[in-house]
Chains A and B, each alone.
Chain A
Amino acid sequence: MSFVALASIVAIAACGSSSTSSSSTTSSSAGAKQGGTITIASGTAPLSADQGLDFTTQGNELYSVVNMPLLTFVRGVEGTGGSKIIPALATSLPTVSNGGKTYTFHLRSGLHYSNGQPIKASDVLVALERDLKIPWQSASFISAYIPGAMAYANGKAKTISGVTTNDATGTITVNLVHPFAPIVDIFALPGTAPVPPSTPAKNLASTGTIGDGPYMWSSITAEHQYTLVKNPKFDVPGLPRGYADKIVYNVNSNVLANAQAVLNNSADVFDPGDTIPASVLQQIKSQASARYQAQPLNSSWYFWFATYKKPFSNLYARQAVLAALDDRALSRVDSGFQTPDCHLIPFGIIGHSNPSNCPFHNPNGPANLTLAKQLMAKSGMAGTAVTVYGEERSPRKQYLDYFTSVLNSLGFKATEKVVNSSVYFTTIGAPSLKPDVGFGDWNQDFPNPWDFMELFAGDAGSSLNYGYVNDPYYNAQLVKLYQQTPASVASQWAALDQYAVNKGYYAAFGHEAKPKFYSNRLSYKTGTLSVEYLTDVTSLALKK
């Protein structure tokens, strides 16, 4: 595969040719003011300010402007156009050789971290090694595809043999076990951004790492407040430097209070990772319609099952649950922000299937309780005790109540475990827990169906594949498909999604629109709700 071909593929994928969700719009800087302080009100804290550990949308909003990787997703563009990958610290997109198994990057010269230290090519390797040591929540993105990465992670090697760097020439060469198209996307994630060699290989939750992006950490009170200020050393041509001098990210689990604060202009941005409660939504629509919009982004919400143990090792038991779900009910619980669907690949990603293909019930109709009861009777699992895991944050807790109610109506003996949202995914992903069933959601990291389907891969690790699904056919298809460009195998991705739905590996129930809701202090047109970053911090600007 040539570089040109790959670049085209990335561009095609980024543009989302099959998207039905949204068109791309570029924000306008007219009326935007330089400087000032902008506050974001979020219901959930990032797991960590350290991009070497965290993989949450809340964290990504912040450290994506602190830790700039070799490549980046274009900023200031809404809709699927925001998935376009452009060079950041690299001089250009990587050259691809060796049959798609070698990617070569060239670092721009004269770059510096926010502390003035020069950035070297070998710092990228330092970051990758650090990701494996901490480990990064998506460490499998590296360990499964780069030779020697797993050995390094296990302490059996002193470095990642598949990555070589040359500080003199600024060259970074990444070799792969086999062709892996999403590697370009992965090198656009902040987790792969270079860090100074002196950065400790441990989670720096309350300080973050020294960065190289347009902003840098000013102060962090973990789980409460995260403050960014402009990085005066940032100087990468073509990348936005941001408008505001200071960004304050306040965490308050009361999302109603957050929404009201933005409505009353005492906070500036309602974090789009949260759902605006229905109680205040009507008020916002009527009183602040000029500064509120719900935009479809690429996300999927689902329940996962532990497929290796009873009762959900039983195919009929899983299928019964799928048949008994009423996606419309779940959408109402989410203030109507959900578009019901049983598939994991969302509308804006290549490989999306039509919701009418959902086998167990029509997502836009009622649950098929007759079928559900038949399947349940076949399963023989009635009376089995299960613990259902979910988050405390609205509407996730309400999902949990609903799902538990459905399981009990089917004859399971379901009880709930509500986990604090900031530690929910680390809790259910802990290898020692091995939970029965629970809630999950996934927002697009990059415009590739693999990003979603990988969640149920046998090698995804417990931090993503909470139900430990391990289907040889599914795994083999993933390996086969991720070596191809998504557009060339779109129907096969759709078929794999359909296969997993039929197998009941997940009970996906919809794709969520996200709120773009600002105070009237901000320039609404300038601000960008990014498909990659949610709130694009560099686009936030006070009105002139």
Chain B
Amino acid sequence: MSEASPRSQPADPRSPADATAGDVGDGGGVAVGPEKPTTAPVAEPAAARTVGVGPYRLALRRLRRNKVALGFLGLFVGLVVLCLLAPIYSSDVAHMGPNAENITGTVGGKDIVSPDGVPIGPTFTRHYFFGADTNGRDLAVRLLYGGRTSLEIGGIATAVIIVFGTLVGLLAGYSRGLIDAVLRPLMELIWSFPPVLLGVAVGTALAFGGLGPIKGNSLLIPSFIIGVIYIPYLGKPIRGEVLRLREQDFVDAARVQGMSPWRIMLSEVLPNAASTIIVFIPLMLANAILLEAYLSFLGAGVQAPNASWGTLISDGLNYISTTPTLSLIPGAMLVLTVLSINVFGDGVRDALDPRVQVRIKT
């Protein structure tokens, strides 16, 4: 299954083409019209009214029928729940914190770290279930805490992308003129840098010096870096969408009614661009988690001794020949998480934009 490019702009689900596909697919005989004017409702005769189903409800129906997407959503939710249970696993099962070290200790009669420095592999018992790292830390505990960290950063970064990407796209697309002349090149500038290189450069600098009151080892640093890097990935498509929407009749109607630009943007344009934003949420979450892993792997993301899946993969590399689980297990968790988000994201996109399905089918 191909991953939708974050640079692609999903089509508006309420276009006439959508309506056709949606109507047939849902069998409800309900027309999902083009952009829905949210102002100036026109009174219709009661007899002519039909029972309407909103576009999002239709999308939800389509999504419910996509068992693969739902299966991967379940997998993702399962992974999230597992990571959220990290403190319970740590205190009640492993009896060891994520940064607690026991280099000279033993488990099951074996050295946790041998005198010549080789950490123990998986024991599949409550202690060191997935083995230990070089510093005698329980890999299973760090894996779960690392997952929390990765998801937390991914979540915050996605929120930053959604909020600021939407704001920037709305402002640039609706206002045009000077604001667009400033915001568009700014987005192009960030867009033109390879995300990993930009992240490493900024991450390394901020990890050392911090950012104002935020200390260098705070999770907010990589979260904001990733968020800022990906703002254009949402901001640009939103801007394009808003440029199109602002010329629509219902927006003109709102202007004629004397609504302020802000109100038009928030109450008229934004709701009509919402499907684009929704489609981008899982894509951005997956990309943010991946970029966090890259940055942490390269030492520019999560700072030691805190764990994330990226740092765990990096820490384990030196032991890939003797204790491959140190890198492989966090790598597998990362793959499963990103895969589940992407497949679910594809399902969301298909549900909101049935034309894609139509194209695939034909």
* Residues of A near any B CB (own CB < 8 A): 254-256, 277-283, 326, 328-329, 331-336, 366, 392, 394-395, 397-398, 400-402, 404-405, 408, 415-419
- B100–A405 touching, CB < 8 Å: yes
B97-129 residues with Cβ-Cβ distance < 8 A to A are: 99-101, 103-104, 113-118
- Interchain nearest-CB distance for A239 vs B (Å): 38
B121 to A: closest C-beta gap in Å: 12
**Which residues, 283 to 313 on B, are CB-close (under 8 Å) to A?**
299, 303-305
Question: Is A418 a contact of B303 with CB atoms below 8 Å?
Answer: yes
Contact call B117/A278, Cβ cutoff below 8 A: yes
Instruction: Judge whether B318 and A279 touch: CB under 8 Å.
Output: yes
| Nearest CB of A to B219, in Å | 13
* Interface assignment of B217: CB less than 8 Å from any CB of chain A: yes
B135 beta carbon closer than 8 Å to chain A: yes
Nearest Cβ distance between residue B33 and chain A, in whole angstroms? 57
A277 and B104 CA atoms in complex are apart in Å by 18
CB distance from A333 to the nearest CB of B (A): 6
Check B117–A405 contact: CB distance below 8 A.
no
B36 within 8 A of A: no
B117 touches A334 (CB 8 A): yes
| Contact partners of A397 in chain B: CB under 8 A | 304
What are 10 A-B contacts with C-beta separation under 8 Å?
A278-B118, A279-B318, A329-B113, A332-B104, A332-B114, A332-B115, A332-B117, A394-B318, A398-B135, A417-B216
Residue of A nearest to B118 (CB): A278
A281 CA to B117 CA, complexed, in Å? 9
Query: Does A333 contact B134, Cβ atoms closer than 8 Å?
Result: yes
Does B64 count as interface, using CB distance less than 8 angstroms?
Answer: no
Instruction: Output the nearest chain A residue to B99 by Cβ-Cβ distance.
Output: A405
A405 / chain B contacts, CB cutoff of 8 Å? 99-101, 135, 305
Nearest CB in chain B: distance from A394 CB, A:
6
Cβ contacts under 8 Å, A415 to chain B: 215, 217, 303
Whether B214 sits at the interface, judged by CB under 8 Å, is no
Closest 7 CB pairs of A and B: A278-B117, A329-B103, A335-B117, A336-B116, A279-B319, A279-B322, A277-B318
Type the 1/0 row for B61-98, where 1 means its CB is closer than 8 Å to any CB of A.
00000000000000000000000000000000000000
- Chain A contacts for B113, CB-based, 8 A: 329, 332-333
CB closest residue in chain B, given A392: B299
For residue B257, give the distance in angstroms from its CB to the closest CB of chain A.
56
B104 touches A401 (CB 8 A): no
Apart from A282-B322, A332-B114: 6 A-B pairs, beta carbons within 8 A: A255-B318, A256-B318, A332-B104, A400-B304, A402-B101, A417-B216
Q: Is the interface of B mostly helix, strand, loop or mixed?
A: loop
A402, B304: Cα distance in complex, Å: 11
**CB proximity of A474 to chain B, nearest CB, Å:** 32
Mask of B225-260 contacts with A, CB within 8 angstroms, 1/0: 000000000000000000000000000000000000
User: Once the chains bind, are B117 and A401 in contact (CB under 8 Å)?
Assistant: no
Query: How distant is the Cα of A415 from the Cα of B302 in the complex, in angstroms?
Result: 12
Evaluate contact between A418 and B319: CB separation under 8 angstroms.
Answer: no
Cα A279 to Cα B317 with chains together (Å): 9
A332 near B103 with CB under 8 A, answer yes
Question: In the complex the two chains form, is B322's CB within 8 Å of A278's CB?
Answer: yes
Chain B neighbourhood of A255, CB < 8 A = 318
Contact of B99 among A280, A332, A398, A408 (CB under 8 A): A408
User: Contact at A329–B104, with CB atoms within 8 Å?
Assistant: yes
Which B125-140 residues have a C-beta within 8 angstroms of A? Answer: 134-136
- CB nearest neighbor in B for A427: B208
Is the C-beta of B223 less than 8 angstroms from some C-beta in chain A?
A: no
B117 cross-chain contacts in A, Cβ below 8 A:
277-278, 281, 332-336, 395
Chain B 319-359 residues near chain A, CB threshold 8 A: 319-323
Find chain B residues with CB under 8 A from A398 CB: 134-135
What's the Cα separation between A401 and B133 when bound, in Å? 12
With A333-B117, A405-B99 as contacts: A279 and B305 at CB distance below 8 Å: no
What's the nearest-Cβ distance from chain A to residue B117, in Å?
A: 3
In the complex, are the beta carbons of A416 and B321 less than 8 A apart? no
The answer for the CA separation of A328 and B216 in the assembled complex, in Å, is 31
Chain B residues, CB < 8 A from A331: 115
In the docked arrangement, what's the CA distance between A418 and B305, Å? Answer: 10
Closest B residue to A394 using CB positions: B318
| Across-interface contacts of B305 in A (CB, < 8 A) | 401, 404-405, 416
> Shortest CB–CB separation between residue A270 and chain B, in angstroms?
14
Q: State whether A329 touches B136 (Cβ < 8 A).
A: yes
In the complex, what distance in Å separates the CA atom of A405 from the CA atom of B323? Answer: 23
Residues of B within 8 A of A278 (CB): 114, 116-118, 134, 318-319, 322
CA distance A369 to B129 in the complex (A): 27
Contacts of B216 in A (CB 8 A): 417
Q: Which residue of A lies closest to B116 (CB)?
A: A336
Question: Which residues does chain B contribute within 8 Å of A328, judged by CB atoms?
Answer: 103-104
Which of B99, B100, B116 is the one whose CB lies under 8 Å from A281?
Answer: B116
> Do B104 and A366 touch across chains, with their CB atoms under 8 A apart?
yes
Contacts A402-B103, A416-B304, A418-B299 known; A336 to B115 CB distance under 8 Å? Answer: yes
Kindly list chain A residues whose C-beta atoms are within 8 Å of the C-beta of B116.
Answer: 278, 281-282, 332, 335-336
Residues of B close to A333: CB separation below 8 A: 103, 113, 117, 134-135
* Nearest CB in chain B to that of A418: its residue: B304
Contact partners of A401 in chain B: CB under 8 A: 99, 101, 135, 304-305
Distance of B286 from chain A, by nearest CB (Å): 28
Q: How far is the CA of A405 from the CA of B217 in the complex (A)?
A: 15
Partner of B118, one of A279, A326, A334, A400: A279
> Contacts A278-B319, A332-B114, A405-B99 given: A417-B208 contact, CB under 8 Å?
yes
Task: Name A329's closest neighbour in chain B (CB-CB).
Answer: B103
Q: B99 to chain A: which residues have CB within 8 Å?
A: 401, 405, 408
A394 to B114, alpha carbons, bound, how many Å? 17
Give chain A residues whose Cβ lies under 8 Å from the Cβ of B217: 415-416
**Which residue of the partner chain B has the closest CB to A254?**
B317
Bound-state Cα–Cα, A295 to B318, Å: 23
Residues of B within 8 A of A335 (CB): 116-117
Q: Which residues of B contact A416 (CB under 8 A)?
A: 217, 303-305
Whole-angstrom CA separation of A402 from B323 in the bound complex: 20
Query: How far apart are the CA atoms of A282 and B136 in the complex, in Å?
Result: 19
B189 to chain A, nearest CB (A): 27
Using CB atoms, name the residue of chain A closest to B112: A332
> Which of the residues B100, B101, B215, B317 comes within 8 Å of A329, measured between beta carbons?
B101
A419 partner residues in chain B, CB cutoff 8 A: 208
Could you tell me the distance between the alpha carbons of A347 and B322 in the complex, rounded to whole angstroms?
33
Kindly state the separation between the CA atoms of A262 and B129 in the bound complex, as whole angstroms.
34
Whether A283 and B104, one on each chain, are in contact in the complex, defined by CB atoms closer than 8 angstroms, is no
Complex interface: chain A residues within 8 A of B135 (CB) = 333, 398, 401-402, 405
Known: A279-B118, A401-B135, A405-B99. Is A326-B319 also a contact (CB below 8 A)? no
Determine the residue in chain B with the shortest Cβ distance to A397.
B304
CB-CB nearest in chain B for A405: B101
* B48 CB to nearest A CB, Å: 68
* Chain B residue at minimum C-beta to C-beta distance from A260: B321
Q: How far is the CB of A411 from chain B (nearest CB, A)?
A: 15
